[in-house]
Amino acid sequence: MYLYFFEQAGLLLADEIDAKFMEMTELLKITPYAGVKARNNRDERYRKLVVPHFPFIMLYHYDEEIENIKTLRILHTARKITGLF
């Protein structure tokens, strides 16, 4: 993703987006339930987090037993598939 933004929009935007994703990852380490439960999924462990100031949604899985957070996808909100989550 970084390479795409670097090629399309330049170094500054690529760095900003990368820093924001890292910030969101750090937030999830501290507060794993910061995101909301993913729609159409009964399992509370599948969650989504809206990335502020950028058109992205992070989909992640939180396993409370082993305190593990796994980023599953980062979706652009312009994609119709984001409505499913």
20 contacts 1 by C-beta, under 8 angstroms: no
Per cent of the chain over pLDDT 90 is 69
SS3 at position 28: helix
pLDDT recorded at residue 78: 85
Domain locations in the chain as residue ranges: 2-84
Which of 15-24, 47-56, 60-69, 74-83 is least confident? Answer: 74-83
* Angle, alpha carbons 60-12-81 (nearest 5°): 35
The string of pLDDT tens digits covering residues 32-66 is 999 999 887 778 889 999 999 999 999 999 998 99
pLDDT recorded at residue 84: 67
For domain 2-84, the CATH class is alpha beta
Is residue 27 exposed (0-12), middle (13-18) or buried (19+ Cβ within 10 Å)? middle
SS3 at position 17: helix
